[in-house]
Structure formats: C-alpha cells, structure tokens
Structure 1
C-alpha cells in the first residue's frame, strides 16, 4: 500500500489514492475548518489486508478563541465504522498546527474498500483547523 494523502493547505485541496467526503466543514484558503460534529472521511481500497495496521497522521490545530473554556478540540478517529481513538488537542499556548499520529490495528482493516473517518466531537469544542491527513502502512511510520 502506498501512502494516501489528503492535503487541505491549498484552496482546491489535493488528494491521492482516496475519495474525500466532508460533513460540517468549510473551506478556508489554507485549511479545512471542522465545526463541532464535523468530519472528513477518506475512502480507499487496498489489495492486501495490512496486517501490521495503519498509521494515520493528522496535521491540525484548534482555532484560537477568546473563550478559555473552549481551547481544546476533541479529535476522533474511526475505521470502517469502529472507533479507534479520541484525543484532546489544545490550542494553548498558541493554536499552532501539529502532527498527531494514530495507530490503527490491522484487525480493523480489510482487503478491498476501507474508510477512515476523522471528526471533531460534538459539544462545546472549537473549530478544528485541518491541514493534512496521511494514511500509511504502520511499518512505514
């Protein structure tokens, strides 16, 4: 499996090896804004089931807000409809984009069609600024 990339740092957005489905999102010049409850799904196909699993690297940051109680976004990752992880992302001290790496167990993947969904949890969370998502076999980091 070759790495699969969805890059939202340009106005048109670029993707390789995937179909991208956006829900509760808005395009900005250099990122994709995910509101609370918003999500991005990447549909992709692999010939062989990746037994070692998948590495999901996300470059994102919460939008900086004036409200101290809303400085965290809650990122959720699901694969083929099953939750993998949920991680808080802080905007403190500044809302600088950073890479987050999530490990997807091989048992959640299958040969053929797969979907990875990245979401900003429902609730009082700020907008999540999403710049890039990279899917790669776990052995490639």
Structure 2
C-alpha cells in the first residue's frame, strides 16, 4: 500500500502541511520555528488509506540553551498513543537544529485519521523548538522531503530585510532589502547565493534550512568587506516586477542541447548584477554571467552526482 507523504513545516504561521493538520497546546509560532513550552504538545493528524508495513518519521527540532549550558526539554513522541520514544534528549547542545529519524510499526497505524503527538516534558527547564515533521512509507524514501521542497518552491520570490557591519564592529546597520527569484524547474530553492555587481561589488550568502534567515558577507565598491545578515520579510510566487525568463541550452557530448526555461531575478540594492551563482536544496549548482543589457548569459551548471556542463541562455522577449 502507499501512504501519501505527510509533512508539517513550522517555519511559517500557520504551518504548511500536506496530508495532515496541526493542533497545539502551550505551543505556537516564534518566527522560523514553533516553540513548545513545558507540558505543551503539538499534534499532527494525518490520513492513512490502507494498512502498510512501516512508516518513517523524521522530526527536526532543537532544545533552547540554558544560558551558556545545554538546555533541558525531554521529548515524548507518540503515534496513536503508542510510544515512539520517551524523554528523548535532543543532541546538539541547542546550537543547531537536529533531524531525528524513527521507525513507526505498521500495526500502530489504521485506515483513516491517525495522530503523531510531540510533547515537551512537564519538568522541562527550557523550550523545545520545532522546525518540521515528515512522515512517509518506509518504501517511499524521502518522499515527504521531496513534497516539502516542491511546496516551498511554489513561492520562489523572496524579500529579506538586511543588516551589515564591519568585521570589527558589534552594531548591525540596516541596509537595502535583498530580493530574488530563481526558478530553473528543479522545485528547489537556493541554499547558497553569490553575485557580482557593478564596479567590483560582490556578495556571498548562505540560507538557514527553513529559508527564514541568511548570513554572509559583501564587498562594497570601495573594496571594504562587511558581514551581511538577513531576515525573511516576505515570500510569494512573483515580485511586482516580472523576473526575466531565459530559453536555455546545455552543452555535453560535443554539442548544445535544448534545456528548460530559467527565471532569474536578483536585486541587491545596486542593480544590475553581472554574475549570479547558486546552489539549491537538491545539491544542484549553477553560475551565469550576464551581458550588460541582461539579454543573454553564459556559464555552467552541475546536477548533483554529475559533472559540470556548459550552460547558456537567451531572454524570451515579451515574457510576463
């Protein structure tokens, strides 16, 4: 039998879900994740169509620190009242979210509505931060994660509020918003983004897994380097102005071959950029150099577990 992939993405409020719905007690959104307080719980109700052998449950979470010390918020996970784990101590010390994987026996599941419960202990001294819950058939590996990536990629137009500072300063100063949209038909958002702007400016940033923040650095036109961080301000399907679309080709086997369309837009506050490079959540990479009028580009692309290939594109005139 098959289980339609189930996910709950707590980086948004309300959470993004597939084949499920969320209920909560003493828990709620904290921007980029949900917080479960002591004695609180989150329930994910999902539907099973027919009996199955086994399911795989993945939970991404952390326990907030207790000052400089590791936090304390033991986690209980139950499926239909059956204990998957009891008083589980999430590793990592509270610095980084951790992804824990558990097996759910098929006999615990029943046709119709089922429930995953995540509960923070009554004696918890710090908070439990919840990022996402994924559930899939044991024979459909990573199906829930693929579904989540596709759902996130349905709104690829991002706007981040930005802040920068010299490396020897402590105060962050607000800067122009960073806006981008990159859609190459892979149903995956960038995890890293690099660019070169006019007159020698350039930048490189890396996104948090939930795409709620980023950290990186920029080089100004005067040659000074500054740290750069960003906080998600808005995400949508498109920005107000349309993103240029390119008809692309890839080069392998000694000749060029037609490829899919690329929609790419990047506004760093000092447009236009001359070069854009990215790595997406599936591990694919690309780097393109644009002509001064943005009518075409040349570069390279590399799909995960494959070698690099030539990549070029010509703008589609009159594209929306």
TM-score of the two chains, using structure 1 as the length reference: 0.88
Contact 1:75 1:88 in 2 (8 A): yes
Q: Which of 9, 13, 29 is 2:31 aligned to?
A: 29
Contact 2:91 2:98 in 1 (8 A): no
Moved more, 82-91 or 41-50: 82-91
1:53-92 mapped onto 2 (5 Å cutoff): 53-66=54-67, 68=69, 71-86=71-86, 87-92=88-93
* Structure 2 CA distance for partners of 1:77 and 1:118, relative to 1, 3 Å: same
Q: Which residue of 1 aligns with 2:137?
A: 137
Question: 1:91: how far off?
Answer: 4.7
- Which sections of structure 1, spanning at least 5 residues, go unmatched? none
Q: Which residue of 2 aligns with 1:18?
A: 20
Question: 1:84: how far off?
Answer: 1.9
Moved more, 118-127 or 21-30: 118-127
- SS for the counterpart of 1:42 is strand
* Equivalences, count: 138
C-alpha distance in 2 between matches for 1:60 and 1:18: 19
**Aligned residues: CA RMSD:** 1.7
* Structure 2 CA distance for partners of 1:126 and 1:55, relative to 1, 3 Å: same
Q: Which residue of 1 aligns with 2:96?
A: 96
Contact 1:72 1:90 in 2 (8 A): no
Runs of 4+ in 1 over 3 A off after TM superposition: none
Question: 1:72: how far off?
Answer: 3.0
